[in-house]
Amino acid sequence: MKRLILLLFFIPAVLTSQNYIDLFKIAYSQNFNNEFEDTQSTTDIHSIDVDLTIPFVINDDNAIVTGVLYSQNNLSLAPGFHGDEAPFYGLLSEKTTLYNTILKLGLATNFNEKWSGTFVVLPKLASDYQDISGEDFYVGGAAILKFQKNENLKYRFGVYAMQQAFGLFTTPLLGFYYLSPDEKLEMNVMLPISVNVNYRLGDTRKVGFDYYAIGRSFDIHMENGLYRYVDYVALEFTGYVEQGFMDNSILLRLKGGYVANSAEVYAKDDQIDFRVSAFDFGDERTQLSPDLSDSLFAKLEAVYRFDLSKQESMNNDNESGL
């Protein structure tokens, strides 16, 4: 039974290459006083992010990976102007909550001792959830190949693509996972999306640095019958401290740092040809909201982690009769 449990959690771990898998993660963050360009108005941004992973074993080398990614961002999309601009901006100056729900359905597979891969389809529903229709549904996916250089280093190569309200978004993925021989320094890199570098101070405590790039779009349904969408981007740079509990199966992280934000509003049919990473092609859109300034932000994060190395050690002890 324990061998089955180990297999169940080990195969999907090729998603992240390390000797553990984060089955559940929830985070709450708040940006402070994002200013609207050329105005005295500001907005705070309150965000919740949830990531659930549920793997199912097929055989010794393959597993189905399922789960859900959920996020919500609460903010004002425009300042509360008066006068001639009030009829339009007044509809956007009220607090709006933008929801994003993505289903994960894919295959994690080991080709041989060196090469493995993960292939995931990602259907999503993204809007203000005020009047859900087929136009709020989008489909994307990711394909990642991993090469095990040695027991401490694994390289990753791939591509991610997703339909968005503004058009097609795609980006190449290039990264690596490294754990030092003394298991104190850990580096988990997947450019251009994320970078995590941390250092273990003791059995249950770490300090680290995070970079995380968020790119989402949301349909919004306005009271006057107009259809708009929000092109939302956040580039987060944070330092953090992590404390482990219950043999490091529960992790709490307190993060603080700097975020570059944009939440641009466009007419529904005003789109680009496609976006590759940070580069837009065929972008002749007319932005209908002011730009947002960058800001400081704080985040609290909780993780439920399954440690594969400890489970493997338990299995070896049982097999040897200890």
Cβ(260)–Cβ(293) under 8 Å? no
Q: 141-154: string of b/e by CB count within 10 Å (b at 16+)?
A: ebebbbebeeeeeb
pLDDT given for residue 91 in this prediction:
58
Report helix, strand and coil shares of the chain as percent, to nearest 5: 10, 65, 25
pLDDT given for residue 21 in this prediction:
84
Q: How many CA atoms lie within 13 A of 289 on its CB side?
A: 27
Q: Which secondary-structure segment (H or E) carries 155? A: strand 153-164
pLDDT given for residue 85 in this prediction:
45
Label the pairing between strands 167-179 and 185-191: antiparallel
**For the chain, how many structural domains are there in total?**
1
Q: How many CA atoms lie within 13 A of 54 on its CB side?
A: 8
What is the domain range of residue 261? Answer: 2-319
This prediction's pTM: 0.86
Q: For the chain of 322 residues, list the mean pLDDT of each consecutive stretch of 10.
A: 36 50 95 88 94 90 94 90 48 84 96 95 95 91 96 96 95 96 96 97 96 94 79 96 96 97 93 92 93 95 84 42 34
